A and B are shown apart, each in its own frame.
Chain A
């Protein structure tokens, strides 16, 4: 027995050691692919811009100053709040939020539908949902522009059935951008919700119906709270990339519907770029996203405490 206990102790040590080594890839990924890039952007945002792109290694707050303040053409006037970028930011949040809500409205019933099919056909439905996403995002977004344009199939169809008299202008509107974002990230909404609805105990819905709850009340008071983690995950997964997206706003939104992703993209593209300014805008975007998520999580925790 004693010998066994000893060897048992040895095994535990081996496990500990093994665990340290086995976790290394995870730490490495976090360090190399997440912390290091963010740190680089943070550093770059405080550097001075080089005119043909790139940076001069000299500390400067100029990028942040440029983002928030207007000091006139030559930089010698009294600082005023610069609304250009804040407006772009605000529009981005609004567009990403609308795309998220659109995804939720379409994605939730889709996920529910798939999760309530028989076990055999569920993987087929999931597969079907993901198929369009095997095509490159750029191609999908360009195709969407062709579908939506004034002489495109959508307008042709609506004209032919007599629903409209003249083509509706969808391309180069906010709505087109929302549609594009919605279509870009829909599976990120469907899949987490599907996963949580699939795990949902449908006897709970039966119990609610048995206790005189209508379908709507059952959805609101029993199903939704149970699948909330999936819904939240889906919303974050759609909202965050939508916020920084530049393909859909560029291709579908036109110049008037500029979003933060395009702004950042431009700073790094070609000779007109300003790397520190792009890095600063990225950091501001990152901070905003974090603040939104933290506020949301706090409110969530509070609501749960209240219920409990």
Chain B
């Protein structure tokens, strides 16, 4: 993202408490103009609370929230120029689809005719023009979702807040909507703040992701950055699949740390700040960064025995047991099948990886 991009939503030291319970523990983050920003985390991590604080449905216990430089935490929801797509859409059941979409425009002072004509355009954008006069209950889940989107985008908000909008859709429709949402964000140029617990969804759609857990920000970065360089154990475990091992640091030299995996197996990783010889730390290595072979390759190699193969369509997952040591999960793509040998359970093999594929995590 360009350096000079201005800040759309600036959350500064925001805290949210419900009585004794702290839902958000001092969160600060800046969401940039025209960005697809995702708040990602398991349920109860505070992501929805943060979104609702931006929308104005929850008040801010401590800290500030700025929208394009303007402090908004004391504005009631109806005075904040942001719109929300609700989890279960919250379409007005007694109004037609067109009136639903026109509602926000009317409230902003447009005449009924103007509001309706603009609402019609919005429905065209989400390809629902032919359903204008239906009631929401007469639409499918996917269509309702698009109405909710059109309704929230119609008043041209400064930011669009999306609270797990795809969670009620089935897998296939969800994939399609993910792309549609991303395209819509590009077309409209509106800042999207998207809340989800689905890491794959977050990786697919976002410009940047804030990973949250237990009311705290764990890591903020581009999807690739978060996937490849998780800061801590929570992020490594929550995003994607990984081999997570407890190891002890044997030696540290020349920016490398050699770690003991148990059972006499050793692996060299890049050194990270905050580790010392003898320390017990966690190591994460992604299954798709590992290769199985008859011979040890350049880089790092571990000797083991194939325990099980799991066929899953696009790829094969192989579980390899190191003698007296931990198990590794290796993912092999199913492309170019002809060139690849499938190792059967019981085969003695080497698990190979590039230096740096395995990362140490301080936690």
| A residues with CB within 8 A of B | 201, 203-204, 206-214, 217, 222, 225-226, 307-308
B135 near A210 (CB under 8 angstroms)?
no
Question: Quick check: B94 and A225 within 8 Å, CB to CB?
Answer: yes
Contact of B88 among A203, A210, A217 (CB under 8 A): A203
B residues near A207, Cβ cutoff 8 Å: 84, 86, 90-92
User: Measured between C-beta atoms, what is the minimum distance from B152 to chain A in Å?
Assistant: 8
With A207-B84, A308-B135 in contact, do A213 and B92 touch (Cβ < 8 Å)?
A: no
Q: From A204, A210, A225, A307, give the contact of B84 (CB < 8 A).
A: A210
A118→B152 CA distance, assembly (Å): 30
User: Which stretch from B100-108, B165-173, B198-206, B288-296 is at the chain A interface?
Assistant: B100-108
* Structural contact, A211 and B155, CB atoms closer than 8 A: yes
Q: A209-B78, A211-B78, A212-B107 are in contact. List 20 more A-B contacts (CB 8 A).
A: A201-B90, A203-B90, A204-B90, A204-B93, A207-B90, A207-B91, A208-B92, A210-B56, A210-B77, A210-B84, A210-B152, A211-B103, A211-B104, A211-B107, A211-B151, A212-B79, A212-B104, A212-B155, A217-B107, A308-B96
Min CB distance, A18 to chain B, in Å? 34
Contact of B93 among A210, A213, A226 (CB under 8 A): A226
Chain A residues in 8 Å Cβ range of B107: 211-213, 217
Residues in A whose Cβ lies below 8 Å from that of B77: 206, 209-210
A260, B90: Cα distance in complex, Å = 47
- The main secondary structure of chain B at its interface with chain A is loop
Residues B108 and A212 in contact, CB atoms below 8 Å apart: yes
In the complex, the chain A residue whose C-beta lies closest to that of B87 is A203
B residues neighboring A (CB under 8 Å) = 55-57, 76-79, 82-84, 86, 88, 90-96, 103-104, 107-108, 135, 151-152, 155
The reply to whether B86 and A213 form a contact with Cβ atoms under 8 Å apart is: no
Give A210 to B77 CA distance when docked, in angstroms.
6
The reply to whether A209 and B90 form a contact with Cβ atoms under 8 Å apart is no
Contacts of A212 on B, CB cut-off 8 Å? 78-79, 104, 107-108, 155
Contact in complex: A206, B104 (CB < 8 Å): no
9 smallest beta-carbon distances between A and B, as pairs = A211-B104, A212-B107, A207-B90, A203-B90, A209-B77, A225-B94, A210-B84, A209-B78, A213-B107
Asked if B83 and A209 sit within 8 Å, CB to CB, the answer is no
Taking the closest CB of chain B, its distance from the CB of A95, in whole angstroms, is 33
- Tell me whether A210 and B55 are in contact (CB under 8 A): yes
CB contact between A210 and one of B83, B95, B108 (< 8 Å): that residue = B83
A98 to chain B, nearest CB (A): 29
Is the beta-carbon distance between B104 and A203 smaller than 8 angstroms? no
